[in-house]
A and B are shown apart, each in its own frame.
Chain A
Amino acid sequence: MNASRAPFSALPQGLALFGALAFAACQGLIYLYAPVEAQLGLMQKVFYVHLPLAWWALISFFVVFLASVAVLLRASDAADRLCRAAAEVGVVLTTLTLATGMIWARRSWGVWWTWDPRLTTALIMWFVYAGYLLLRGLDLPPRRKSVICAVVGIVAFLDVPLVFLSARLWRSIHPAVFAAKGGGMEPEMKLTAIACVVSFAFFWAGLIWLRKRQLDMETRVRALLLARQGADEDEA
């Protein structure tokens, strides 16, 4: 395939669409296959949506971390754009994780929010990466901005393992579902949860790929416009 045509491939859209359809199909598993939990009842089914959002948000930030290292080691512009795409998707998914978690908390614990270690570290993570996106929006020299953002992208990742481990390390009312042996879940529940996480992976990959491709195109358009401006000035 011609390199200049590669960005217009329909693969990322296809991947996102397949993921969205697969995730929608998982609703069938959630409501028809997975048994209703004895204590929480139907409300427990929020978990099957909450879990993939949370896990893929954490993985997005891991991608930001890896790409930030690549920016510092190789001065890669492509890695810098990947950082931005992954951080954006991560913040969207974290927002939805917090929203579904709050709805769960209101119904199950009787409060919208509590300063539990898992919730607190997740909220800090949201603020850190929202700040990271604001930093990316600043008008700074491109190379300087990519280095600053790479350093912030690496330091910000310190909170991510804490979010994952918080329910195991400290006393938390948030359930650590897969922590205990057997996870305390019925096999049908576990299978449904895994199907939701796997199907959401395709949607997540499609989103990141799409956004990264948009950022690549924006960079190319900006470079073309600058070249055009330069040529006009030379003519003048």
Chain B
Amino acid sequence: MDHIYWLLAANVAVWCGLGIYLLFLGQRQRSLAARLVQLESLRHED
């Protein structure tokens, strides 16, 4: 039974780690999209 907890801990670590990196990528993507919208609005003002 003890093995299952350690196995679970290892799997949680991996999936959480990958999830955090994907969240980081998503946040960077949102920030890029916001900057693109800003650029587009500047172009429309011209």
Contacts and interface: CB of A to CB of B under 8 A. Distances in A.
B42 to A, nearest CB: 6
A217 B32 contact: yes
B19 to A, nearest CB: 10
A99 B42 CA distance: 46
Nearest to B43: A228
A225 interface: yes
Interface stretch (A38-46, A60-68, A186-194): A38-46
B39 to A, nearest CB: 6
What is the predominant secondary structure among interface residues of chain A facing chain B?
A: helix
What is the predominant secondary structure among interface residues of chain B facing chain A?
A: helix
B14 A49 contact: yes
Interface stretch (A102-110, A144-152, A159-167): A102-110
A210 interface: yes
Contacts of A95: 17
Contact of B25 (A106, A214, A218): A214
Interface string B7-18: 101110110011
Given A92-B17, A96-B13, A221-B36, A45 B7 contact: yes
A42 B7 CA distance: 7
Interface string A106-147: 110000000000000000000000000000000000000000
A99 B13 contact: yes
A185 interface: no
Interface in A25-83: 41-43, 45-46, 49-50, 53
A225 B43 CA distance: 11
Contacts of B6: 43, 46, 103-104, 106-107
28 contacts: A41-B3, A42-B3, A42-B7, A43-B3, A45-B7, A46-B7, A46-B10, A49-B14, A53-B14, A96-B13, A96-B18, A99-B13, A99-B14, A100-B10, A100-B13, A103-B6, A103-B10, A104-B6, A104-B10, A106-B6, A107-B3, A107-B6, A214-B25, A214-B32, A217-B32, A221-B35, A225-B35, A225-B39
Interface of B: 2-4, 6-7, 9-11, 13-14, 17-18, 21, 25, 28-29, 32, 35-36, 39, 42
